[in-house]
Structure 1
Amino acid sequence: MSNTASASTGTEPLTLITGSGRGLGRALVAAALARGRRVVGLARSGAGALVETVELDLADAGAIAAVPGRLPAGPVDLVIHNAGVRGPVNGLDGVTPEAFGEVMSVNVLAPLLLTRALLPRLAPGATVVFISSRAGSCAEGADPDRDDLYGMSKAALNRGMVKLSQHHPQRFLALHPGWLRTDMGGGEADLDPAEAAEGLMEQIDDSGLPSGWFGDYAGAKVGW
């Protein structure tokens, strides 16, 4: 475990955020810290997170399984699965075995495997958040950019979240962060990552959101 900030030595609950070194992940780290949370970032080597960091390649199933043993002491009361890849943007022309495997592995399989690995460390009232997208909604996911594989992956992730909510006592949420000015979203996007992160944390802190909820950063429900 590397550390770019002084680590706590207590056993207070942990907040875990994947993809914590840039974009929305970095903004989520800042928003969680501002709420007094003890944050551990999960990011690739050299990502430069603001807090103590466990290096993690989400394409490595073995590394995912080893995460719980690499965390500092304390129960995990919040997990935010933020890391993801966009994949090809040319519709069906981009659906190759290699591209399909990469997008589904990082966007769907990795967060499910990490959730499974973390179950013994989760506090009974923990919340597990999957950063999803309206692109994964069959009802609302219009996609002029033809991010076909990305949309498919988020639809699968949403379904996985619902199954987890049906079989485990913790709270599971899928949240759409909006169109963000990040490397993935581009410079013409509507929202700054910090604004989206604040909205997402407000939804996470809303105890009234039930397990299995799919909504956006502003609190609106997203149709399936």
Structure 2
Amino acid sequence: MSSRHCLVTGANRGLGLAFVRGLLARGDRVVAACRHPGRATELNRLAGLHPGRLHVLPLDVTLARSRDELARELALVLDGAGLDLLLNNAGVLRGGERFGQVAEADLEQSLRTNAIGPFLLVQALAPLLADGRAVVANLSSEIGSIAGRHEFRTPSYAIGKAAQNMGTVLLARALAGRGIRVVALHPGWVHTDMGGPAAPLDPDEAATALLRVIDRLGPDDSGRFLDGQGRTLPW
């Protein structure tokens, strides 16, 4: 699909920024949301290179007033057009956690950023999603797979992503009647600030693979958990 209207959260760096670059290269219109647009040097540079096709807007996905303000601003940007693609990419990971020392604050932050915020953002933006064609893609992780956990690792992130996966399934059911597809996507281990320098995947490579998966989604794919090759992952 060409000339889609797309929204990417957590768009100022890493995988989010790679999604913005990839969507612009395809000719899409993009709204890039991040917490501090004034500090998003690369996004603002891209906005200058793509006037009218890239808008940079503020969003702290954990705050209700920020989600509501984005919904208002997005309606103005769309100007009556429906939103074709929502990429819920914003996330947080607390590394180095050890059993017996997991902090309540880290668990709460993960749930708010990785699960609660994206769920409520979809709820807030639901009136703007295009019936019959919109896709909501929640950037998840295999670490959130309950069936796939065989060791104690990054518990706050794992719990947050597992909760996000349930949100994906529930949103798929809630929006099914409007023909809107909702999926959870695992990008792989990506070389970003979150993934770390040892990660083998380049962000642009990972974003390109996931955009191909999104392009191939059919009605029966809504509510699935998929990797960058379109394979189903266990919950």
What is the aligned partner in structure 1 of residue 51 from structure 2? none
What is the aligned partner in structure 1 of residue 55 from structure 2? 52
2:213–2:228 Cα contact (<8 Å) kept: yes
* Cα distance, 1:95 vs structure 2: 2.7
Match of 1:26 among 17, 22, 39: 17
Match of 1:66 among 65, 69, 79: 69
What is the aligned partner in structure 1 of residue 27 from structure 2? 36
2:62–2:116 Cα contact (<8 Å) kept: no
Looking at secondary structure, tell me which structure has more helix per residue: 2
What is the aligned partner in structure 1 of residue 138 from structure 2? 130
> Aligned equivalents of 2:174 and 2:121: distance in 1?
16
Q: Report which stretch shifted further, 57-66 or 36-45.
A: 57-66
TM-score by length of 1: 0.89
Sort the Cα spacing of 1:24 and 1:142 in 2 relative to 1 into closer, same or farther, 3 A: farther
Query: Is 1:99 paired with 2:109?
Result: no
What is the aligned partner in structure 1 of residue 148 from structure 2? 140
Share of identical aligned residues, percent?
Answer: 40
Sort the Cα spacing of 1:92 and 1:17 in 2 relative to 1 into closer, same or farther, 3 A: same
Q: Provide structure 1 residue ranges, at least 5 long, that are not aligned to the other structure.
A: 1-11
SS state at 1:196 partner: helix
What is the aligned partner in structure 1 of residue 49 from structure 2? none
Query: Is 1:188 paired with 2:191?
Result: no
SS state at 2:112 partner: helix
Q: Provide structure 2 residue ranges, at least 5 long, that are not aligned to the other structure.
A: 47-53
Q: Report which stretch shifted further, 203-212 or 18-27.
A: 203-212
Cα RMSD (Å): 1.6
TM-score by length of 2: 0.85
Q: Report which stretch shifted further, 96-105 or 171-180.
A: 96-105
> Aligned equivalents of 2:95 and 2:217: distance in 1?
37
Deviations 1:146-182 (A, max 9, x none): 2011011111100110011112131000000000111
* Cα distance, 1:93 vs structure 2: 3.4
